[in-house]
Amino acid sequence: MTEAQARQRGGNAEDISAERLAEIGIRFEVDGEIATITLDRPDKRNAQTFATWTALAGIGESLPEQVRVVVVKGEGPSFSAGIDLRMFTPEGVPGQGSFSSAARGGDADFEHSIRKAQAGFLWLRRPEIVSIAAVQGHAIGAGFQLALACDLRIVADDVKFCMKEPALGLVPDLTGTKPLVELVGLAKAIDICLTARTVHAEEAMRIGLAEQVVARDDLDRAVRDKAAQLLSTNRDAAVATKRLLQGARGRTLEEQGVAEGLEQAARIKALFGG
């Protein structure tokens, strides 16, 4: 998508021209109903900056309507080594400041910045799409949270998830805590976060962090196969079903039944209503 298209769709949209994304270290490609976001700073293990997160938000805002599957992957040996450690230095990341400069600003400003960063993660759960994280090597801190932001995680057998934030005196704040608890349960989430230990492939699969573990060389193929399976079902039914599944935890069985009936009535009307 060109910058002009992005602006047309979003009004005040983030610059997600290919040139700008390349500067930030992201590639964004759309092939029919599949969009692929690739973190592309392999020499820095795909470390993420504030610009990474606002660019992700911009991609979400301007995602072409035909897209049904979004793949998030990382180039090179690691999915992502988390936040760019330059953020912890007084100099920070050129043009993006540092935590020292943020700490000198007001609390309201900082909370606003965090909300802006989180926007880059939240859209990946929209009912209209299914997001798949393809994770190899390290997924640390913000990298782990980006994988958690996706609906599904297909991982290579060398995957190493680590929620490092508490070890650094921070909390995970890129929306990762809720999906982590929902996937693995509170006790396991406490264990993983408060020890900042590494979760390898076998455990990730066993505790529900990963849907599938494959050999490293098979990761792209496994993700392509999953995308094809997801695209084989009816689009509108898939959106409605995801909406139902996402809402299930917050409803009683009775309420969920009502919600199912409403969605089904709309489906039947669309399919057989003439």
Binding site for ligand CAA (CB under 6 A): 44-45, 47, 77-78, 81-85, 138, 140-142, 164-165, 168, 170, 174
Closest residue to ligand CAA using C-beta atoms: 141
| Minimum distance from residue 70 beta carbon to ligand CAA (Å) | 21
Q: Which residues contact 113 (CB under 8 A, 6 or more apart)?
A: 50, 102
| Minimum distance from residue 201 beta carbon to ligand CAA (Å) | 16
* Residue number, 41 or 68, with CB nearest to ligand CAA: 41
Q: Which residues contact 105 (CB under 8 A, 6 or more apart)?
A: none
For residue 39, what are its two tokens? 């973190």
| Minimum distance from residue 137 beta carbon to ligand CAA (Å) | 7
Angle, alpha carbons 156-33-8 (nearest 5°): 120
The answer to whether the CB of 164 falls within 8 A of the CB of 103 is: no
- For 161, other C-beta atoms within 10 Å of its C-beta total 26
* Residue number, 13 or 135, with CB nearest to ligand CAA: 135
Q: Which residues pair with 33 in a beta bridge?
A: none
* Residue number, 47 or 154, with CB nearest to ligand CAA: 47
Which residue shows structure tokens 């982590």?
Answer: 180
Residue 93 carries which DSSP code?
B
* Residue number, 25 or 60, with CB nearest to ligand CAA: 25
| Minimum distance from residue 91 beta carbon to ligand CAA (Å) | 13
Q: Which residues contact 255 (CB under 8 A, 6 or more apart)?
A: none
* Residue number, 84 or 151, with CB nearest to ligand CAA: 84
| Minimum distance from residue 242 beta carbon to ligand CAA (Å) | 27
